[in-house]
Structure 1
Amino acid sequence: MDQEVLRIGCAAGFSGDRTDAAGPVVDALLQAGGPAALIFETLAERTLALAQVARRADPHRGYEPLLDELIGPILARCLKGGIRIVSNMGAANPRGAALRIREIAAEAGLPAPRVAVVSGDDVCGAEQRDTLHACLGSALGGREIVSANAYLGAEPIAAALRAGADIVITGRVADPSLAVGPALAHFGWRTDDWDRIARATMAGHLLECGAQVSGGYYADPGLKDVPGLARLGYPIAEIDADGNCVVTKPAGTGGEVTEHTVKEQLLYEVHDPSAYLTPDVVADISGASVEDLGGDRVRLAGVRGKPRTDTLKLNVCFESGWLAEGEISYAGARAEGRARLAAQVLRERLQGLGTLRADLIGVASVFGDDGGEWLSAHAGADARDVRLRVALRHADRRSAERLLREVTALYTCGPAGGGGVRTSLRPTLGTLSGLFPRERATAAFEMLE
């Protein structure tokens, strides 16, 4: 077993994250020397469904739209410095993403990297339909399935790295597994070494949302001030042979890694601290310790593990109709009253189509509700700078389009002084989650030739 510390940097926490984040992380990994990996976590439930829609329209698409911008600037340095890249940016088309990375390398005059593609998460095929219906019961009904994905774990990633992959591209794997895979491959842990795998899982959990752990989501001026927020450094985890880790960030970057930022991220999206379910392990952080070492270095230890479950998380996306939105602004004397009247006009004109959501941006929007109760309870403020936003969901496109026409008509049909109309119409996707039998999801990897 290799006892040398493994450094894993994270350069993205979601699809659409900053594309310049990887540079300082790669520089820090190269400067530190030793074995290292770089992960990009770009896949959420909604992101994967949209990727499936994109692939339906064009079979060459369906992977992370920002792949070129994320991978291109750091590919040469990672290949030269031996930094392995692991990412779920394959989304609905991991092979397409892998082929594009090979093209990027060729365009830059680099030797062809060894790129592995992990498969098995897509369980939408005809042979799985009976299993899907059994998992979801009557909840699925007769809905048109867009995507169905089981959350795979770290084992195929580790196997690909042990086989010599420079880059591993996946579809839907659990976010922490992006870090557990390199740790399994590097340290040679047994796949039932629950404590070590649980510790690496929580290291991955700290990394998976990118700059959240280095001060981004933590910042709240006047209460939790964070320096250099415009130049946040993304996190690096130094994982030891027992799976414990020290979280840090590149020197000279903004943000901070402290006991508080780590504790916030440690608890993020954790329902039961004694049983955090992942495909690799059930992690128990109820006895974990977080120690601030100073200098943007925080140690996490004391995580325990329990055997993984016999099921994997399942996420199914389905077509759910159309969302129509419209906005119009009112300013000056009695602006709020005019905006409220406009909302009432739209409710009357669109009566019978469903619930019309109305928000007065600047008065009541974040706390608002679909029924309009909050809006009614906070009348009379007489705001002078108001933007009315209305939205309607409908199964039928033509019915949803009526909202667009009615908002536009407010220009001359009143109330007075409305302007800056903007409308949009887009298909919507619904999601259902369930538990999928582990033995029905066959995880594997393929090395591109």
Structure 2
Amino acid sequence: MDAPLRLFRGGPIDYVTMDYLAEVTMSIMQRQKLRNPERGYATDFVQFVDEVLPDLKKRGVRIIANAGGVNTEACRAAIMESARRQNVSGLRVATVSGDDILDRLDQFRDSGVRLAHMETGEGLFDADRKILAANVYMPTDGMVRALDEGADIVITGRCTDPGLVLAPVLHEFKLDGWDGIALGTVAGHILECGAQSTGGNFTRWWEVPDMAGIGYPIAEVSDEGGLVITKHEGTGGMVTVETVAEQLLYEMGRPDHYITPDCIVDFTSIKIAQDGVDRVRVSSVKGSMPTETLKVSISYLAGYKATGQLVVSGPDALAKARLCAQVVWDRLAMSGCHFDDTHEECLGVGVVHEGIVPPAENAPEVVLRLGVKDVDRAKVDRFGKEIAPLVTSGPPGVTGFAGGRPKAQEIVAYWPALIDRKLVRSEVSVVEVGS
């Protein structure tokens, strides 16, 4: 919560962009909306806006966020109410929608749109699935239109992370050609993970100063197509060629063919150079025409899961942990419980780098973590009842049972697909407080 406030108040800035949506988030928000029609968006965003509203118009800062989730109108209503409560007038709040296609899936199925899985090729409708959410990664055109119409705050549903930054770049400079769009996209790609480009998650982490007060990245873009990555003075972290380069590699995929709804970027063309303390210049970005399809993020119910863990300590801790696991599997089998999938790991002996480093056979304690997955919730619940008894009916040195009995949880699976971009379009609505 403090990071965006520090960014807003820490120095000169024109736009604050905020990303709230992971792949699974949309299904969570759909369920929130089903329970309460006034929910289904990121309430944390409303809290942030509530904090900065008195200074927003005064400082001329504009905010762009995909906090609308699956209910952009309700998110806007909450912000408008906050503005009225604080007597803020003249505030223009835009919603950009069109990404949510959940209610159109029957129409797509009947018209022969397969929404094939991008890895397996299986059609979404080839089997009966309980689909929870379906959202298209939309181009930035809707956000740009909202800014062109004078919006101070732009609330979107699903869009690309770089698009949140590309939109104000295109609004401000009207850059011509694919290279200009690619430049704004790269700026967004560098900023999209927050402090990851200013020292967070940096491989040389011991060199990063004041990580507790780490500053978030800022993109300085000029009308000549220049791009510099920096941060507010006096904040922690650092902006170097190395920190920026590591972020460029994040989720890149094919380096010469980074696909977005707005363009395709050739990352092999990019040049980066130090341009002063905590300043890195990015140049020579090349782009080309985008694809005719857009990516769709679909989530569906795929059964149930449960995980449980115990701490096993003392001599032969690893051997005792493995025995505990076998006892659980044997007891479940004796009761007729066989699962679609099971998982077993001993944390503390090198499991994260299994196959790369040898296990620490003599570890003084390990954390045994067990998990199951199945379409039958009753069997998953039964698994949860077998963890605690090991404290007294397993080998010695078993402890750490906390948090209660493992409970069955729904598995929300991810289905990536492509859709013809002609089948969707952005809808923009701008409303002013008091209108």
Normalising by structure 1, we get a TM-score of 0.87
Which secondary structure state, in structure 2, belongs to the residue aligned with residue 442 of structure 1? Answer: coil
Report the Cα distance in structure 2 between the residues aligned to 1:97 and 1:442, rounded to whole angstroms: 20
Could you tell me the percent identity over the aligned residues? Answer: 35
- Does residue 241 of structure 1 match 2:223? yes
Q: Map residues 163-202 of structure 1 onto 2, 5 A cutoff.
A: 163-189=149-175, 193-202=177-186
Q: How does 1:372-411 map to 2 (within 5 A)?
A: 381-411=361-391
* Partners of 1:70 and 1:334 in 2: CA distance: 51
Q: Does residue 302 in structure 1 map to residue 284 in structure 2?
A: yes
Distance 1:228 1:182 in 2: 30
Q: Pick from 179, 203, 214: which aligns with 2:198?
A: 214
> 1:32-82 CA deviation, whole Å, 9 max, x = no partner?
6xxx11100121212223222322333222212422443333232223211
Correspondence 1:99 to 2:77: yes
Which of 136, 142, 146 is 1:150 aligned to?
Answer: 136
| TM-score normalised per structure 2 | 0.90
Tell me the residue number matched to 1:340.
322
- 1:149 aligns to what SS in structure 2? strand
Is the 1:200–1:244 Cα contact (8 Å) retained in structure 2?
no
Q: Which residue of 2 aligns with 1:40?
A: 18
> C-alpha deviations, 1:3-54, integer Å up to 9, x for none?
xxxxxxxxxxxxxxxx111223223453x6xxx1110012121222322232
Q: 2:111 & 2:286 partners in 1: Cα distance?
A: 33
Amino acid at match of 1:85: I
Alpha carbons of structure 1 residues 111 and 251: separation in structure 2 relative to 1, 3 Å? same
Q: What is the SS of the residue equivalent to 1:157?
A: helix
In the TM superposition, what is the alpha-carbon distance from 1:361 to its structure 2 partner? 1.8
Of 68-77 and 40-49, more deviation after overlay is shown by: 68-77
Q: In structure 2, how many angstroms separate the alpha carbons of the residues matched to 1:405 and 1:274?
A: 51
Shift of 1:349: 2.0
Structure 2 letter corresponding to 1:180:
L
CA distance in 2, matches of 1:184, 1:23: 25
Once the two structures are superposed, the pairs formed by residues 20-169 of structure 1 within 5 Å of their partners are: 20-30=2-12, 36-111=14-89, 113-125=91-103, 126-130=106-110, 133-136=113-116, 138-140=122-124, 141-169=127-155
CA-to-partner distance for each residue in 1:169-209, whole Å, 9 max, x for gaps?
Answer: 0010111111111112112345xx21111111111111111
Q: How many Å apart are 1:167 and its aligned residue? A: 0.3
2:429 equivalent to 1:446: yes
Residue number among 248, 256, 276 corresponding to 1:274 in the alignment:
256
What letter corresponds to residue 323 of structure 2 in structure 1? L
Q: Check conservation: 1:102, 1:112, Cα contact below 8 A.
A: no
Quote the Cα distance in structure 1 between the aligned partners of 2:85 and 2:344.
Answer: 50
- Matched with 2:418 is 435
CA distance in 2, matches of 1:386, 1:94: 46
Q: In structure 1, how many angstroms separate the alpha carbons of the residues matched to 2:199 and 2:2?
A: 17
- Residues 196 and 242 of structure 1 are in contact (CA less than 8 Å); yes or no, is this contact kept in structure 2? no
Instruction: For 1:52 and 1:358, locate their aligned partners in 2 and report how far apart those are by CA, in whole Å.
Output: 32
* Distance (whole Å) between structure 2 residues aligned to residue 380 and residue 233 of structure 1: 38
Deviation at 1:132, TM superposition (A): 8.1
What one-letter code is carried by the residue in structure 2 that aligns with 1:441?
V
2:98 corresponds to which letter in structure 1? G
Contact 1:347 1:356 in 2 (8 A): no
Give the equivalent residue in structure 1 for 2:303.
Answer: 321
**Is the 8 Å Cα contact of residues 350 and 360 (structure 2) preserved in structure 1?**
no
1:208-234: CA deviation from partner (whole Å, max 9, x where unpaired): 111111110214345xx2111111100
Larger mean CA deviation between 136-145 and 384-393 belongs to 136-145
Displacement, 1:84? 0.8
Q: Which runs of 5+ in 1 are unaligned?
A: 1-18, 369-373
Q: 1:67 to 1:255 in 2, by over 3 A?
A: same
- 1:73-102 deviation line (CA, Å, top 9, x unaligned): 323222321111000111122222222222
Structure 1's 157 and 221: CA in aligned 2 closer, same or farther, altered over 3 A?
A: closer
Structure 2 Cα separation of the partners of residues 306 and 287 of structure 1: 12
Structure 2 match to 1:362: 348
> Is contact 1:22-1:74 (8 Å) kept?
no
**Take 2:42 and 2:340, find their aligned partners in 1: how far apart are those partners?**
35
How far the C-alpha of 1:365 sits from its partner, in A, is 3.6
Over residues 294-352 of structure 1, what are the superposed CA-to-partner deviations in whole Å (9 max), with x where a residue is unaligned? 21011111001111111111111111111101112222233333222110111212332
Cα distance, 1:255 vs structure 2: 0.4
For structure 2, list consecutive stretches of 5 or more residues without a partner in the other structure: none
Looking at structure 1, the residues matched to 100 and 52 of structure 2 have their Cα atoms a distance apart, in angstroms, of 29
SS in 2 for 1:350: helix
Q: Distance in 1 between matches of 2:317 and 2:267?
A: 52
Instruction: State the Cα distance separating 1:112 from its structure 2 match.
Output: 5.9
Q: Distance in 2 between matches of 1:220 and 1:51?
A: 37
CA distance in structure 1 between the partners assigned to 2:304 and 2:111 by the alignment: 28
Q: Deviations over 1:255-280 (max 9, x none)?
A: 00011111111221112222211111
Deviations along 1:355-405, one digit per CA (max 9) or x if unpaired, are 32112121244245xxxxx79x96782322222111111112111111110
Counterpart CA distance in 2 for 1:91 and 1:131 is 27
Whether the aligned pair in 2 keeps the contact of 1:20 and 1:70 (CA below 8 Å) is no
Name the aligned partner's letter for residue 209 of structure 1: C
Per the alignment, do residues 339 and 178 of structure 1 end up closer, same or farther by CA in structure 2, a change over 3 Å counting?
same
Q: SS where residue 314 of structure 1 aligns?
A: strand
Which amino acid counterpart does residue 71 of structure 1 have in structure 2? V
